[in-house]
Amino acid sequence: MTTIRLRTLFGKEVLDLLRNRAALLPVALVALISLVLPFTVAVIVPAMTGQPLGDDADLVKVSLVAGIHPELSAGGRIQLFLFQQFLLVFLLMPITGAMALAAHAVVGEKQARTLEPLLATPITTFELLVAKVLGALVPTLMISAAGLAAYFGCVALLAEPGVVRAMISMRTTLLMALVGPAAALVSLQAAIVISSRVNDARTAQQFGVLIIIPLTAVFVAQFTGALWLSATTIGFLGLGLLGVWILLAVFSVVLFEREAILTRWR
Amino acid sequence: MAVDDVTFDVASSEILALVGPNGAGKTTAMRMLAGLIAPTAGSVTIDGVALTQATGSLLRQRIGFLTEAPGLWDRLTVRENLRIYAGLYALAAPERAVDRVVDNFDLADAASSRGAELSKGMRQKVALARALLHDPTILLLDEPTSGLDPEIANSVRRLLDERRAEGCAIVVSTHNLDEAERLADRVAVLQGRLLALDRPAALGRRLTAGRTIVRVGGEAAAHLPTVLAFDAGASAQGSTLVVTMPHAGGSVPALVRALVSAGADVLEVRPEVPALEDVYLHLVRDDSARGDVRG
């Protein structure tokens, strides 16, 4: 494997995306909604109705999963719980946002008839597939990272003092820096595999949606308090996902069937 | 099965033209040569190295492949398209290589245009420039002059001549039989299988079975009785007499003497050399007819 070919194709993917910014619009919109929604729930609605979050017994009970945090009031603890939960939206954002890009990655090249000259170059299948995954992931990861920075900034400004400090923990760092990108890599690599096996981009996207379902289930379980993962568990989960990605990347080379792909799609 | 029982070799400094009707397997054969399709049986060997999954990446470095469709990235400019391919071939001086083909193909004015903005001919030109970017020793060109205006098509043919002189082994798939005849050292006629493979002139000789053309002044029909005494199968058309005996055969001088004695002005005596198109049509129709009988 040479990194020059991988970097070149990755650069092409990013350049192509920058010339087609509309493709990134859904990710930017999700980032914006993810910024507005938690503050509407945790800050604006209680302020407008005059009913502090701490008055809701159910919320007080469920917020305990986020830890005791004696330095915070009952309302602050609920804010912490809610803001922690909405962090998961940022975790899902690179996956959902990049899914359409990844699903289109190979089948799109085939439909545009650009795949054949590309396959005629010395680029290996592994380089091709990894460049495609990174080309879909990195731009959306950057948008979600910008959204995340804005999110923490808004929590620092609008939430009860101490909430943002309580949010910055090993658990959050592992979740955002390890589990998020690793889960995205796994999902997008799977989407690329699908993209290389189907006949059109719409089919690839339909299958891609199925990949998001288990991740959404984890998100819902976390939100309802049914599931709360410790920092250690999250660390192992992240490493496990990276391992799965490597296996999947190798597996996707076999499934790609480079020497049959042009005729299989006829 | 697209192609079956097709075997040929191409030497350096040689142009081989693949001709055949639509669906004859020309593109499939080209894709197999480029390592894009694995043959179900048989192999492709380049300088003694079999083209396999393991050797593919290395051998593709030496191959320049012009695909059936230009396959440019529409949102990228001509220069960006070329620059990315220079990176994919891991060229040591990519910018210099891009500048070279931009100059060679007269693409400077279009270098900043996006792929989607180019005409069909210009896209084909850029694709050709891309195939030559890494200075390959093997060129596989699928319909290289398709969609090009005569002037550009002519410059492409000159370029192929130059590459051949530099030692390149070139395989050209084409529907343009005139081009194949003028350009190629050898022609392979394909129709699922290899119908013929030879030099254009040698292919022509196969079809004529040694007929001789005698051109006379005035109407040839007036001299037909003289010729029929030598050859019962002779015919006349306009100022031409077609004699079914070979040009190099012993009776032709006697025939010419007889014609001159009969008062004919003999202007030309030459072996019949049919155009490649006639040979091609003969081979393909003959094979189709045999296929019908087999079917």
- What is the DSSP code (8-state) at residue A95? H
B168 touches B13 (CB < 8 A): yes
Contact flag A262-B87 (C-beta cutoff 8 Å): no
Say what the pLDDT of residue B131 is: 95
* Interface residues of chain A, partner chain B, Cβ below 8 Å: 2, 4-5, 7-9, 11-12, 15-16, 19-20, 112-124, 258-260, 262-263
Distance from CA of A195 to the nearest CA of B (A): 18
Residues shown for chain B: 295
- Given a contact cutoff of 8 angstroms between Cβ atoms, the answer to whether B49 and B138 are in contact is no
Q: Is the pLDDT of residue A163 over 80?
A: yes
Roughly what angle, to the nearest 10 degrees, separates helices A125-158 and A74-111? 150
pLDDT band, residue A218 (cuts 50/70/90): confident
CB contact (8 A) between residue A118 and residue B63: no
Check CB contact of B50 with chain A, cutoff 8 Å.
no
A15 to chain B, minimum CA–CA distance in Å? 8
- pLDDT bucket at B294, cuts 50 / 70 / 90: low
As a whole number, the mean pLDDT across chain B is: 88
pLDDT in tens, A100-145: 788 888 888 888 899 999 999 999 999 999 999 999 889 888 888 8
B31–A contact, CB cutoff 8 A: yes
Sign, Cα dihedral of A109, A115, A117, A123: positive
Within 8 A of B58 by CB-CB distance, chain A residues are: 122
Per-residue pLDDT band at B64 (split at 50, 70, 90): very high
Amino acid at A231: A
Chain B contact set for A17 (CB, 8 A): none
Residue with the bigger pLDDT between A222 and A7: it is A7
B80 touches chain A (CB under 8 A): yes
Mapping DSSP onto H, E and C, the string for B141-157 reads: EECCCCCCCHHHHHHHH
Residue A266 above 50 pLDDT? no
Q: Which positions in chain B touch A22 (Cβ < 8 Å)? A: none
B66, B68, B88: best to mutate for the A interface, most A CBs within 10 A: B88
Q: By percentage, how much of chain A surpasses pLDDT 90?
A: 19
Within the 87-146 window of chain B, which residues sit less than 8 Å (CB to CB) from chain A? 87-90, 114, 127, 130
Contacts of A83 (CB under 8 A, 6+ apart): A38, A42, A155, A159, A163, A167
**pTM for this entry:** 0.81
Domain boundaries, chain B: 14-204, 211-271
Fold of B14-204: Rossmann fold (3.40.50)
Cα of B212 to nearest chain A Cα, Å:
48
Cβ contacts of A149 within 8 Å, gap of 6 or more: none
Residue pLDDT, tens place only, B142-197: 999 887 888 888 888 898 999 999 999 999 998 888 888 888 999 999 888 888 89
ipTM metric: 0.82
pLDDT recorded at residue A22: 83
**Crossing angle for the helix pair A180-195 and A125-158, to the nearest 10 degrees:** 140
Among A119, A126, A261, pick the best mutation site for testing chain B contact (most B Cβ within 10 A). A119
For B111-137, write each residue's pLDDT tens digit: 999 999 999 889 999 999 999 999 999
Work out the pLDDT band at A264, boundaries 50, 70, 90.
Answer: low
Nearest by CB: A262 against B31, B70, B72: B31
